[in-house]
Amino acid sequence: MPDGRTAFSIFQIVQPVSPQPTPSITRTVPTAVVFGGIGSKLEIIGQGFVPGSIVLTNGTPNQTVVIMSNSHLQIQLSGHDVLTPLSLQVVNPTGGTSGVWNAAIDDPANPKRRGGQLLSN
- Say how many domains are in the chain: 1
CA–CA distance, 60 with 84 (Å, rounded to integer)? 13
Is residue 39 in some structural domain? yes
- The 3-state DSSP class for residue 8 equals coil
Give me the domain span that covers residue 77: 24-104
Distance CA 24, CA 49 (A): 8
Sign of the Cα pseudo-torsion (65, 67, 73, 74, in order): negative
Is residue 46 domain-resident?
Answer: yes
Q: Is the residue at 17 inside a domain?
A: no
pLDDT at 34: 77
CB atoms near residue 71 (< 10 Å): 14
Closest CA to 72 of 18, 31, 23, 19: 23
Query: CATH number for the domain including 93?
Result: 2.60.40.10
Task: Give the pLDDT confidence score for residue 116 in this predicted structure.
Answer: 43
pTM: 0.74
Q: What is the pLDDT of residues 43-96, one digit of tens each?
A: 999 999 999 999 999 999 999 999 999 999 999 988 778 777 789 999 999 889
Q: Is residue 41 part of a domain?
A: yes
Instruction: Render pLDDT for 14-47 as a digit per residue (tens, 0 to 9).
Output: 666 667 789 999 999 988 787 777 778 899 999 9
